[in-house]
């Protein structure tokens, strides 16, 4: 290829320079636009898009919130934005420099505002409040948001050298990434990872007994003591909160701080902090939807006695059983530990404990036997049965059952595991293989058979080839059989 002369090179450079100068202003502005992705997928913003203000990226709230799986509401009279995702409620008012996550105040670097007809909110605060990790690629002007298990290795967790016990206030519960954020007195938030072995206990009031709970049962504002191992992982989390129960007499808005004052018919009054979650039948609602006459459980900060959340009771059990009173007394089965269960047999399950709550059982390794309901046959006694289906085999299944009230549960496990063998023996390594050609007109057929659980009862086992019983002609050598062919 002919080399370019210096003159040609200079001309080419000049041409490139002219073309760059000819790019329209609108196109240059578009190249500087800020793009947002959630788990690698671009978030479209019809109309007003993200902007940068004082080092903070502001985005139209609805696009990012909904992409993160949150529902969004905007209350025009109070200019309040409310996003709900699972057990997390984020509340912020236009023009305010403070937002609330499950009732816990969080400072904003830039207040939420309306621009170009769209409500813009600080991207990093919103994403991290909903349990996502945010990364700003300045050179490409792209904000990357990663959620759930995908960001488990990127979350700002406690240092790997952190160990021992840390005590403070829960500021965030992130079930998707299995992490918890805690703020110590006078300190910053610390993200603490949990493992499958982490034990979480909770107490309602100082004098109650702790009960095992799931991570999702914790709430911002709870007081917690966390024991950590040498890698900074939580080994034991002990949580304390308080509560008030009763029938609602009145609900009064507190315009000064955006909270509410709830008065119960027993004379108790509780100030509900702004942004506190309000749940009804598993769904998030607004405090304005809470009406006189409804039975509620109000979660309190044990120190300030302010309301951190409200649960409205419905159905046959309007007042969920208090945390400290949910307990299992006994779990009984109708099968012996040394019995091998076959297809069609029933496993009878009886669980006794706190009356009037949800009861369920689990048999590991079996289809349709995960968190199956038990029926309360009499107060405090729950019964059910599982019929073993064909084709399943489980060795050492430990059957468990539990009582559940809201996010609280008490569990019992069978002391001795059982064996379930409803699958027939497996025949393999058959020769000649199917559809193969052989020279011998009467080839010797052979193969192996096995049963990994209860074994094979050879005297009662029958072997057939093409539908013909050849048991008498077969030679059996400890799971290896030979059959002389007659065809």
Average pLDDT along the chain: 74
Spatial contact of 444 and 432, defined as CB atoms under 8 Å apart: no
CB atoms within 10 A of CB 270: 22
How much is the pLDDT for 308? 84
Structure tokens at 24: 């329209």
Q: How far is CA 220 from the centre of its chain?
A: 17
How much is the pLDDT for 475? 67
Angle at 328 between CA 280 and CA 204, to 5 degrees: 50
Spatial contact of 318 and 202, defined as CB atoms under 8 Å apart: no
63-73 pLDDT, tens digit per residue, is 788 777 777 77
How much is the pLDDT for 250? 93
377-407 pLDDT, tens digit per residue, is 888 889 999 988 887 877 777 888 888 876 5
Judge whether 449 lies within some domain.
yes
159-212 pLDDT, tens digit per residue, is 434 678 888 888 777 776 788 888 776 666 678 889 888 998 888 877 777 778
Rounded mean pLDDT of 343-365?
86
Q: Are residues 38 and 136 in the same domain?
A: yes
How much is the pLDDT for 455? 64
Span of 70-74, 307-311, 367-371, 430-434 with lowest mean pLDDT: 430-434
Last residue of a domain, one of 128, 148, 168: 148
Structure tokens at 470: 């050849």
How much is the pLDDT for 284? 67
Q: What is the tally of structural domains in the chain?
A: 4
Neighbouring residues of 246: CB distance < 8 A, sequence distance ≥ 6? 264, 265, 266, 268, 295, 296
pTM above 0.85, yes or no: no
How much is the pLDDT for 191? 80
Span of 195-209, 420-434, 442-456, 470-484 with lowest mean pLDDT: 470-484
Q: Are residues 342 and 316 in the same domain?
A: no
- Strand-strand pairing, 340-341 and 418-421: parallel
Pairwise CA distance, residues 136 & 294, whole Å: 46
Among 126-130, 397-401, 431-435, 456-460, the range of highest mean pLDDT: 397-401
CB atoms within 10 A of CB 166: 19
**Which run of H or E residues covers position 15?**
helix 6-21
Last residue of a domain, one of 367, 394, 421: 421
Rounded mean pLDDT of 306-334?
66
Which is it for the CA torsion 256, 257, 258, 262, positive or negative? negative
Q: HEC profile for 141-154?
A: CEEEEECHHHHCCC
267-277 pLDDT, tens digit per residue, is 889 998 887 77
**Which run of H or E residues covers position 351?**
strand 346-353
Q: Are residues 293 and 369 in the same domain?
A: no
Pairwise CA distance, residues 442 & 255, whole Å: 95
Q: Which residue has the higher pLDDT, 252 or 91?
A: 252
Judge whether 175 lies within some domain.
no
Strand positions, DSSP E, 123-222: 133-137, 142-146, 164-174, 179-183, 189-204, 211-212
Q: Are residues 439 and 417 in the same domain?
A: no
Domain that holds residue 441: 426-484
- The CATH number linked to 103 is 3.30.457.10
Pairwise CA distance, residues 393 & 341, whole Å: 9
Given a cut of 60, whether residue 1 has pLDDT beyond it is no
**pLDDT category, 263, cuts 50, 70, 90?**
very high
**pLDDT category, 327, cuts 50, 70, 90?**
confident
Pairwise CA distance, residues 111 & 54, whole Å: 12
How much is the pLDDT for 408? 65
- The CATH number linked to 390 is 2.60.40.1930
């Amino acid at each position: 290829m002919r080399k370019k002369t210096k003159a040609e090179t200079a001309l080419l450079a000049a041409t490139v320079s002219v073309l760059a100068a000819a790019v329209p202003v609108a196109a240059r502005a578009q190249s500087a636009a800020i793009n947002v992705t959630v788990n690698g997928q671009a978030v479209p913003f019809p109309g007003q898009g993200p902007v940068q203000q004082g080092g903070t990226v502001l985005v139209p709230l609805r696009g990012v919130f909904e992409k993160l799986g949150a529902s969004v509401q905007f209350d025009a009279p109070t200019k309040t934005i409310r996003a709900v995702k699972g057990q997390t409620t984020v509340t912020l008012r236009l023009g305010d420099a403070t937002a609330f996550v499950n009732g816990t105040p969080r400072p904003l670097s830039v207040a939420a505002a309306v621009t170009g007809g769209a409500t813009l909110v600080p991207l990093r605060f919103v994403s991290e409040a909903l349990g996502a990790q945010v990364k700003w690629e300045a050179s490409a002007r792209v904000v990357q948001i990663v959620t759930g298990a995908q960001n488990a290795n990127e979350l700002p967790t406690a240092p790997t050298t952190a160990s021992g016990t840390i005590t403070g206030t829960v500021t965030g519960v992130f079930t998707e990434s299995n992490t918890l954020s805690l703020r110590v007195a006078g300190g910053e938030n610390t993200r603490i990872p949990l493992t499958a072995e982490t034990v979480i206990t909770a107490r309602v009031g100082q004098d109650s007994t702790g009960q095992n709970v799931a991570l999702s049962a914790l709430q911002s504002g709870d007081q917690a003591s966390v024991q950590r191992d040498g890698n900074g992982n939580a080994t034991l989390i002990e949580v304390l909160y308080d509560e008030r129960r009763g029938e609602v007499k009145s609900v009064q808005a507190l315009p000064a701080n955006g909270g509410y004052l709830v008065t119960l018919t027993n004379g108790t009054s509780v100030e509900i902090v702004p942004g506190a979650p309000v749940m009804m039948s598993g769904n998030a609602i607004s405090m304005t939807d809470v009406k006189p006459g409804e039975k509620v459980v109000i979660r309190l900060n044990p120190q300030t006695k302010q309301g951190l959340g409200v649960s409205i009771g419905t159905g046959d059990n309007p007042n969920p059983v208090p945390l400290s009173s949910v307990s299992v007394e006994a779990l009984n089965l109708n099968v012996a530990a040394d019995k091998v269960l076959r297809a069609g047999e029933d496993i009878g399950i009886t669980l006794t404990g706190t009356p009037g709550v949800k009861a369920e059982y689990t048999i590991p390794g079996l289809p349709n036997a995960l968190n199956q309901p038990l029926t309360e046959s009499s107060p405090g006694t729950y019964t059910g049965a599982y019929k073993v289906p064909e084709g399943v085999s489980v060795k050492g299944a430990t059957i468990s059952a539990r009582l559940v009230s809201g996010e609280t549960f008490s569990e019992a496990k069978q002391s001795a595991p059982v064996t379930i063998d409803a699958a027939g023996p497996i025949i393999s390594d058959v020769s000649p293989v199917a559809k193969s050609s052989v020279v011998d007109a009467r080839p010797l057929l052979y193969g192996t058979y096995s049963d990994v659980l209860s074994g094979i009862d050879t005297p009662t086992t029958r072997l057939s080839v093409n539908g013909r019983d050849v048991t008498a002609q077969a030679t059996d050598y400890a799971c290896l059989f030979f059959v002389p062919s007659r065809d």
